Amino acid sequence: MTMKTGKEYIDSLRKLDLNVYMFGEKVKNPVDHPIIKPSLNAVALTYDLALDPLYEDLMTTKSHLTGDKINRFNHIFQSKEDLVTKVKRQRMLGQKTGSCFQRCVGQDAFNAVYSTAYEVDKKHGTNYLDNFVKFLDYVQEEDLIVDGAMTDTKGDRSLSPSQQIDPDLYMHVVEQTKDGVYVTGCKAHQTGVVNSHEILCMPTMAMKPEDKDYAICFSVPTDTKGITIIYGRQSSDTRKMEENDIDVGNSQFGGHEAIVVFDRVFVPNDRIFLNGETEFSGMLVERFGGHHRASYACKVGVGDVLIGASALSADYTGTAKASHIKDKLIEMTQLNETIYSSALACAYEGSPTPSGAYLIDLMLANVCKQNVTRFPYEMGRLAQDIAGGIMVSQPSAKDLNSKEIGHYVDKYLRGVNSVCTENRMRILRLIENLTLGTGAVGYLTESMHGAGSPQAQRIMISRLGNFDHKKQLAKNIAKIDDEKNEQCTAESTESKDKKKEKNKTADDKKKKMN
């Protein structure tokens, strides 16, 4: 097996016949489309860095299936070290791209499906793990990108999948055959799907027996007949189509999302990894969610870029030595490192599942993601504070380069004399990109809703909080004797009974007197 270069990866996508729509029109050539291209560059970088000796330890490992050297994104975690390396890799790639690089969701799906399939087979005698191992071996051999697809559009959230007026609002099996199944539905928020070779679909929530048709997990190529990809809009996305790259903010890298429609898509039996075993859908969702919430260490790397951009903007305006600027940069750093520390903690506290694959500590993973739903927003606020209002009111790159008015822009947007106006504009546009523009999709909104919205983590934290154990710890310290509570309760009950009897006797006497 030979790992691909970034160019070879891009060339492999050209062979796919993807059915992609953007702005209501079919995209003839997704690989070279200017709006899609930056997200493709971010994925291609993960290939090139895997071949760079400087990043070999973070980006590659040996397959536990074959012993061959593979990209770590296609690896099943075999140790705590694997989990920790993932966190460090996520931060590094966030630093390199300043954006979403779209591959962690695939690895998180691999690990959730692998460990769950093992336990389904154990109980039901199915062969889902064999199916998945063959699929994973193919992915590793061909060095492929796999989009992990969990989120359904869900329709009326007060109704279960099988209660929906339109059954297609959750992915479901519409026909079972001896050779496989046909599925219909839609997966939303699909990060990097246009840049992927395969789509690995999972149920979106814990299912009840009546939702059996919705408990389906499988993988198919992204260009399978019946699949339509509708590309999502991002703030300021058409700036990528302009000739000058200044106003883009981050012209080289980016991310993307899309909704993916499945209209009677056929899935062969050997690509099915769960089919109707509803009692395991919750396990699959929980394990995927846990792994993916730990993946948000990538936001720490992007946060490093935002901190750097904010510090530069202060340098360029001569405010870097002001105490309040220093304090804001310190605050941003503290918030960023808090996210990183919780991501590392859930990796270091990981443990093996029955399959042998390692799972992060679920409590700490949910704490990590809860931090991610908050801290990048505060960092973005501080970055905008440091940058100043000119970040959103400055003229365009075309104005700067205009023969008629460019000299005015250059003259009046200059900060410190040693920094050219263009460079000041570029760093302000980068901050705008990360906090308001296309980059804010991955850095802010994805931080809020990716891998489950904030309430999903709070539910898990409540479930895993082990409050009874913590109550007992407090009782031990305070020397509380539960038997005394029982005695007090009994005495109180006896006292109340006597009081009732006394009152009853008094009432009876009054009645006789009347």
Full DSSP string of 227-266:
EEEEEPP-TTGGGGGSS-SGGGSSSS-----EEEEEEEEE
Residue 353 assigned as binding residue:
no
Q: Which position has the token pair 């007992």? A: 472
Choosing from 61, 184, 191, 222, which is the catalytic residue?
191
CA dist., res. 431 & res. 312, Å (int): 10
Q: Catalytic: 198?
A: no
Q: Which position has the token pair 């003259």? A: 411
Backbone phi and psi for residue 131, each to the nearest 5 degrees, phi listed first: -60, -45
Full DSSP string of 117-129:
HHHHHHHH---HH
CA dist., res. 354 & res. 477, Å (int): 36
Of 112, 113, 213, 120, the closest CA to residue 160 belongs to: 213
Q: Catalytic: 228?
A: no
Choosing from 292, 317, 358, 443, which is the catalytic residue?
292
Q: Catalytic: 488?
A: no
Residues contacting 497, CB < 8 A, separation 6+:
none
Residues contacting 261, CB < 8 A, separation 6+:
186, 227, 228, 229, 230
Q: Catalytic: 432?
A: no
Of 298, 308, 408, the closest CA to residue 343 belongs to: 298
CA dist., res. 284 & res. 271, Å (int): 17
Backbone phi and psi for residue 67, each to the nearest 5 degrees, phi listed first: 85, 0
Residues contacting 50, CB < 8 A, separation 6+:
3, 56, 59, 60, 71, 72
List Cα–Cα distances, 464 to 361, 365, 367, 368, in angstroms.
10, 11, 11, 14
Q: Catalytic: 217?
A: no
List Cα–Cα distances, 73 to 47, 61, 202, in angstroms.
10, 10, 18
Q: Which position has the token pair 């947007």? A: 413
Q: Catalytic: 358?
A: no
Largest interatomic CA distance in the chain: 111
Choosing from 201, 217, 298, 368, which is the catalytic residue?
298
First to last CA, the chain: 103
Q: At 219, which helix (H) or strand (E)?
A: strand 216-221
Q: Catalytic: 177?
A: no
Q: Catalytic: 446?
A: yes
User: What are the E-state strand segments in 383-434?
Assistant: none
Choosing from 9, 60, 75, 104, which is the catalytic residue?
104
CB 366 within 8 A of CB 341: no
In the DSSP assignment, the letter for residue 441 is I
Choosing from 60, 128, 201, 257, which is the catalytic residue?
257
In the chain, % helix, strand, coil (3-state, to 5) comes to 60, 10, 30
Choosing from 296, 316, 340, 443, which is the catalytic residue?
296
Choosing from 198, 277, 432, 446, which is the catalytic residue?
446
Of 109, 118, 106, 95, the closest CA to residue 45 belongs to: 95
Catalytic residues, by residue number, are 100, 104, 191, 257, 292, 296, 298, 446
Annotated binding-site residues for FAD read 191
